């Protein structure tokens, strides 16, 4: 496989950008080797600077739910750009986006738009503390909520991949109010709330954690969290940056029938452009400036290009979208399981809708501790083998894979042929 141009670009990037990347997980450090440099993407495919073609299961980490560069999104951006790229004053598109989110997510009465998932979570945490006048936040190990200082504790995604889930540069004082418990562990949550009675502003979680690979909530776990937080006046905060509009139009909260107090979004609602949003009950949201005492702001919040791209993406979501995503997911899962069994390679394959992760371990994988049992060296070999066969998985065992509506039966079959070939070499 030719990679001369990507190698040249990476060599130059290394002299200019820390690690040669603008986000750590892209550096391939978890799987070894050097990242390719993408120059074009369309539908389920992505091409690198050397002309190599890949079926893409990263989907720019979630936004590309309709595949890359759907004509409707490209046209929406083109049209919006001709009217100006940013106004710094309210524009009709941000009202339309807010209406769309409120209509799609029953737990949301008001929403504030911002520029990234990290911003959305950081702001939601500040709002929860300002509204409850309590300081403590409970999070779950392995869950990643962006690089928010107070939540970079036993975080997932790149933080987990690089083995420093507790980042340098975060003063102890910034995390003294953050309490971490194992995911899917009701007893640990109950004990922690009892030990911090009256001090906890909120419990934040990815309802389907997708930053330590992918594992679902155990049956009843989300209902338990909703019940115990209501009993103790603790806010339940769903970080749906990854799952929002991906697992259902109303996100994981629709899929599991839970109404959190606050929700965070990103990715899909920006159609590939920088975006974030957080929303919830009116009585909470109205604590935000300029109405209330909790400050939050952003130069490019509600940016017309991101709104135009996001609205085009949301307009493409239909019941059929989720049916197709689930069918493709089921086809991939069935094939992966059969191939691993034939090859006698232990793989715990988790999937919820169009999000999936194959762990190289017997399994089951229900939490971070289970996930950490995976054979990362075997994953790295699998990753590079697939890449050589033209299939691009997330470059870390601790990331989720994403299927788009552009991944049809042919793309899945092509993927499974590559998986069969590579699995035999592990
Ligand atoms: P951003 O600030 O990267 O837009 O969103 C942070 C974030 C918040 N919450 C959840 C559940 C997330 O998954 C993310 C970001 N996801 C990672 C993928 N694991 C983004 C990829 C990256 O960091 O480069």
Which CATH number do you get for residue 102?
Answer: 3.40.640.10
Cis peptide before 364 (omega within 30 of 0): yes
Q: Mark whether 125 and 264 lie in a shared domain.
A: yes
Burial 354-389 (b: 16+ CB within 10 A, else e): bbbbbbbbebebbbbebbbebbbebbbbbbbbbbeb
Q: How much is the pLDDT for 148?
A: 93
243-271 average pLDDT score:
98
CATH label of the domain that carries residue 327: 3.90.1150.10
Residue 314 has pLDDT above 80, yes or no: yes
Query: pLDDT digit string (tens) for 101-131?
Result: 999 999 999 999 999 999 999 999 999 999 9
Q: Mark whether 289 and 326 lie in a shared domain.
A: no
Whether residue 13 contacts residue 20, with contact meaning beta carbons closer than 8 Å, is answered with: yes
- Please identify, by atom number, the ligand 1 atom nearest to the C-alpha of residue 211: 19
Residue 393 has pLDDT above 80, yes or no: yes
Q: Mark whether 309 and 327 lie in a shared domain.
A: no
Task: Name the band, by pLDDT with cuts 50, 70 and 90, for residue 178.
Answer: very high
At CB < 8 A and 24+ separation, what contacts does 324-331 make? Answer: 324/405, 325/65, 325/353, 325/354, 325/403, 325/404, 325/405, 326/353, 326/354, 328/354, 328/403, 328/405, 328/407, 328/408, 328/409, 328/412, 329/353, 329/354, 329/355, 329/356, 329/403, 331/409, 331/412
- Please identify, by atom number, the ligand 1 atom nearest to the C-alpha of residue 23: 24
Q: Which domain holds residue 251?
A: 71-315
Q: Mark whether 131 and 114 lie in a shared domain.
A: yes
Q: DSSP letter string over 63-96?
A: T-TT-BS-HHHHHHHHHHHHT-S--SS--HHHHH
Residue 268 has pLDDT above 60, yes or no: yes
Q: Mark whether 342 and 394 lie in a shared domain.
A: yes
C-alpha 177/C-alpha 166 separation (Å) is 14
Q: Mark whether 309 and 351 lie in a shared domain.
A: no
Share of the chain above pLDDT 70, in %: 99
For 348, counting Cβ atoms within 10 Å of its Cβ (0-12 exposed, 13-18 middle, 19+ buried), the class is: buried
Question: Among 266, 394, 399, which residue has the most ligand 1 atoms within 8 Å of its CB, making it the best to mutate?
Answer: 266
Residue 164 has pLDDT above 80, yes or no: no
Q: Mark whether 35 and 86 lie in a shared domain.
A: no
CA 145 to centroid of ligand 1, rounded, Å: 7
Arithmetic mean of pLDDT over the chain: 96
> Which residue matches tokens 């050397």?
50
Residue 223 makes CB contacts below 8 A (sequence gap 6+) with 258
The count of residues in the chain is 426
Give the residues surrounding ligand 1 with Cβ less than 6 Å away: 23, 25, 61, 116-118, 121, 144-146, 157-158, 206, 210-211, 239, 241-242, 266, 399
- Give the residue, by CA position, lying nearest to ligand 1 atom 14: 146
Residue 90 has pLDDT above 80, yes or no: yes
Handedness of CA 342, 58, 394, 352 (dihedral sign): negative
Whether residue 156 contacts residue 398, with contact meaning beta carbons closer than 8 Å, is answered with: yes
Q: How much is the pLDDT for 162?
A: 62
CA 117 to centroid of ligand 1, rounded, Å: 6
What tokens does 298 get? 């952003």
Question: Among 26, 117, 206, 252, which residue has the most ligand 1 atoms within 8 Å of its CB, making it the best to mutate?
Answer: 117
Neighbouring-strand partners of residue 136: 200
- Give the residue, by CA position, lying nearest to ligand 1 atom 5: 117
- Please identify, by atom number, the ligand 1 atom nearest to the C-alpha of residue 119: 2
C-alpha 38/C-alpha 52 separation (Å) is 9
- Final residue of a structural domain among 315, 336, 361: 315
| DSSP reduced 3-state for 235 | strand
Whether residue 268 contacts residue 245, with contact meaning beta carbons closer than 8 Å, is answered with: yes
Q: How much is the pLDDT for 163?
A: 53
Q: Mark whether 301 and 166 lie in a shared domain.
A: yes
- Give the residue, by CA position, lying nearest to ligand 1 atom 1: 117
| DSSP reduced 3-state for 271 | coil
70-96 average pLDDT score:
98
198-221 average pLDDT score:
98
Q: Mark whether 111 and 51 lie in a shared domain.
A: no
- Final residue of a structural domain among 315, 344, 363: 315
What is the number of helices (H) and of strands (E) in the chain?
A: 15, 14
Q: Mark whether 224 and 356 lie in a shared domain.
A: no
Please count the structural domains in the chain: 2
Task: Name the band, by pLDDT with cuts 50, 70 and 90, for residue 310.
Answer: very high
CA 221 to centroid of ligand 1, rounded, Å: 23
Task: Name the band, by pLDDT with cuts 50, 70 and 90, for residue 283.
Answer: very high
Q: How much is the pLDDT for 246?
A: 98
178-207 average pLDDT score:
97
Q: How much is the pLDDT for 167?
A: 85
CA-to-CA separations, 13 to 21, 22, 36, 58, 60, in angstroms, rounded: 7, 10, 12, 22, 20
Q: How much is the pLDDT for 156?
A: 80
Share of the chain above pLDDT 90, in %: 94
C-alpha 255/C-alpha 249 separation (Å) is 9
C-alpha 301/C-alpha 26 separation (Å) is 26
Q: Mark whether 254 and 328 lie in a shared domain.
A: no
Query: pLDDT digit string (tens) for 46-64?
Result: 999 999 999 999 999 999 9
188-204 average pLDDT score:
97
Give catalytic residue positions: 144, 239, 267
Q: How much is the pLDDT for 155?
A: 80
CA 146 to centroid of ligand 1, rounded, Å: 5
- Please identify, by atom number, the ligand 1 atom nearest to the C-alpha of residue 209: 11
Q: Mark whether 102 and 233 lie in a shared domain.
A: yes
- Final residue of a structural domain among 315, 346, 363: 315
What tokens does 369 get? 């501790």
Q: How much is the pLDDT for 59?
A: 98
CA 162 to centroid of ligand 1, rounded, Å: 15
> Which residue matches tokens 């922690």?
192
What tokens does 248 get? 């259902």
């Amino acid at each position: 496989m030719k990679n001369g141009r990507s190698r040249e670009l990476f060599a130059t990037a290394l002299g200019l950008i820390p690690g040669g990347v603008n986000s750590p997980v892209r550096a391939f450090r978890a799987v070894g080797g050097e990242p390719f440099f993408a120059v074009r993407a369309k539908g389920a495919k992505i091409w690198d600077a050397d002309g190599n073609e890949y079926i893409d299961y990263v989907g720019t980490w979630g936004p590309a739910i309709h595949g890359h560069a759907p004509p409707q999104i490209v046209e929406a951006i083109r049209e919006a750009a001709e009217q100006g790229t940013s106004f710094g004053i309210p524009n009709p598109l941000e009202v339309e986006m807010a209406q769309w989110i409120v209509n799609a997510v029953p737990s949301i009465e008001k929403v504030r738009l911002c520029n990234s998932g990290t911003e959305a979570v950081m702001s939601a945490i500040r709002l929860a503390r300002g509204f409850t006048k309590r300081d403590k936040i409970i999070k779950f190990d392995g869950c990643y909520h962006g690089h928010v200082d107070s939540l970079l504790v036993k975080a997932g995604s790149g933080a987990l991949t690089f083995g420093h889930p507790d980042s340098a540069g975060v003063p102890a004082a910034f995390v003294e109010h953050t309490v971490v418990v194992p995911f899917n562990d009701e007893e640990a949550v109950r004990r922690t709330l009892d030990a911090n009675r009256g001090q906890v502003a909120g419990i934040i979680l990815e309802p389907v954690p997708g930053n330590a690979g992918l594992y679902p909530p155990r049956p009843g776990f989300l209902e338990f969290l909703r019940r115990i937080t209501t009993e103790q006046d603790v806010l339940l905060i769903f970080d749906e940056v990854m799952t929002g509009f991906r697992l259902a139009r109303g996100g994981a909260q629709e899929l599991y029938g839970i109404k959190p107090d606050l929700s965070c979004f990103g990715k899909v609602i920006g159609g590939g452009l920088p975006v974030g949003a957080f929303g919830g009950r009116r009585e909470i949201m109205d604590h935000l400036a300029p109405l209330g005492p909790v400050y939050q702001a952003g130069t490019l919040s509600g940016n017309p290009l991101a709104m135009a791209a996001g609205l085009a993406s949301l307009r493409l979501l239909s019941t059929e979208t989720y049916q197709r995503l689930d069918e493709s997911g089921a086809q991939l899962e069935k094939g992966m399981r059969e191939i691993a069994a034939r090859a006698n390679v232990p793989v715990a394959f988790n999937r919820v809708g169009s999000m999936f992760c194959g762990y190289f371990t017997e399994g089951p994988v229900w939490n971070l501790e289970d996930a950490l049992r995976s054979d990362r060296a075997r994953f790295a070999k699998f990753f590079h083998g697939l890449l050589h066969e033209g299939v691009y998985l997330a470059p870390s065992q601790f990331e989720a894979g994403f299927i788009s509506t552009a991944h049809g039966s042919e793309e899945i079959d092509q993927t499974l042929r590559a998986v069969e070939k590579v699995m035999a070499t592990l």
